Amino acid sequence: MRTPLIAGNWKMFKTIAETMKHVKALRPLVKDITDVEIVVAPAFPSIHAAAESLRGSNVLVAAQDLYWEREGAFTGEVSGAMLKDAGADLVIIGHSERRTLFGETDATVNRKIGAAFAADLAPIVCIGETLDQRERSETLDVLDRQIRAGLDGVTSGQLVQLVLAYEPVWAIGTGRNATPDQAGEAHAHIRQRLRQWFGAEAADLCRVIYGGSVKPENIRDLVAQPDVDGALVGGASLDVKAFFDIARNAAEAFR
Ligand code: PGA
């Protein structure tokens, strides 16, 4: 019913030359993985080169952020139309690093989601609780708030194109992934809320992926959870072989 998705978030890593080397190695490695959608998200300057090099392959390109205006006097910002023009098909929105380091809120996430749809980019919207919030048993409330405010105004038709990435903040870049049970509980909750707020049909088609210290060794157990539709991979996605292993292991686990 849902095509699994494995996306690599490269964050602020890789020059254009390094990007080219990576995607040239990745393309033939993953060419036979047809039952999982594979996405790489390079930094802005490398998007065009990556998209050109991956044209006609089964690897899509995502941006890591966008600004909500189409054009104008917004020094330093990049619009959805520009990203689409550069070859991106998706865009990550509201990553926890954007929220903690750059002041993004559910309100800015909401505007960015609208801009992504307007530019025909599929949004990958990141949500997730901090360690403090988990320890105070607020996880599910935080997720509810992030979904409700972030996705305010999103239609059921749009939800089908949108990807939610559940990324517990304490698991990002720490080597400490959520246990499959923790991920499973959060994902089941998210799916239930999506059903409630967008209807069963749209909720069952919306992909909800997990992120936070995903590695070739833990991807199988994570995607074995019924509502985990793939992964957003940070650190391990910078290594071609590790990223390929994650995609292949996920594909096998989903079969
Ligand atoms: P990580 O990052 O895999 O390095 O924990 C995940 C992310 O930030 O999306």
pTM of the model: 0.98
CA distance 58 to 36: 9
Q: Which residue out of 22, 48, 95, 187 is catalytically annotated?
A: 95
Residue 67 DSSP symbol: B
Closest C-alpha to ligand 1, atom 2: 234
CA distance 219 to 235: 14
Mean of pLDDT values over 36-56:
98
- Whether 158 lines ligand 1, by a CB cut-off of 6 Å, is no
- Reported as a single tens digit per residue, the pLDDT across 188-245 is 999 999 999 999 999 999 999 999 999 999 999 999 999 999 999 999 999 999 999 9
Domains of the chain: 66-239 (3.20.20.70)
- For 10, left (φ over 0), alpha (ψ -120 to 50), or beta? alpha
The rounded Å distance from CA 199 to ligand 1 centre is: 30
Choosing from 92, 167, 218, 246 the residue with most ligand 1 atoms within 8 A of its CB, the one to mutate for a pocket test is: 167
- Reported as a single tens digit per residue, the pLDDT across 60-91 is 999 999 999 999 999 999 999 999 999 999 99
Residue among 229, 112, 228, 205 at smallest CA distance from 156: 205
CA pseudo-torsion sign 65, 63, 195, 96:
negative
Nearest ligand 1 atom, CA 97: 8
Q: Check if the beta carbon of residue 40 is closer than 8 Å to that of residue 90.
A: no
pLDDT band at residue 162, thresholds of 50, 70 and 90? very high
- Whether 230 lines ligand 1, by a CB cut-off of 6 Å, is no
Residue among 126, 102, 100 at smallest CA distance from 113: 126
What does pLDDT average to over the chain? Answer: 98
pLDDT at 62: 99
Q: Decide if pLDDT at 28 tops 90.
A: yes
Mean of pLDDT values over 37-41:
99
- Reported as a single tens digit per residue, the pLDDT across 9-26 is 999 999 999 999 999 999
Active site residue 135: no
pLDDT at 14: 98
Mean of pLDDT values over 96-114:
98
Which pair of structure tokens corresponds to residue 167?
A: 């990324």
pLDDT at 1: 87
CA pseudo-torsion sign 45, 124, 178, 246:
negative
The helix-helix angle for 16-30 and 44-54 (nearest 10°) equals 30
Q: Long-range pairs for 95-103 at CB < 8 Å and ≥24 separation?
A: 95/9, 95/64, 95/65, 95/126, 95/167, 96/126, 96/128, 96/167, 96/169, 96/172, 97/11, 97/172, 98/65, 100/169
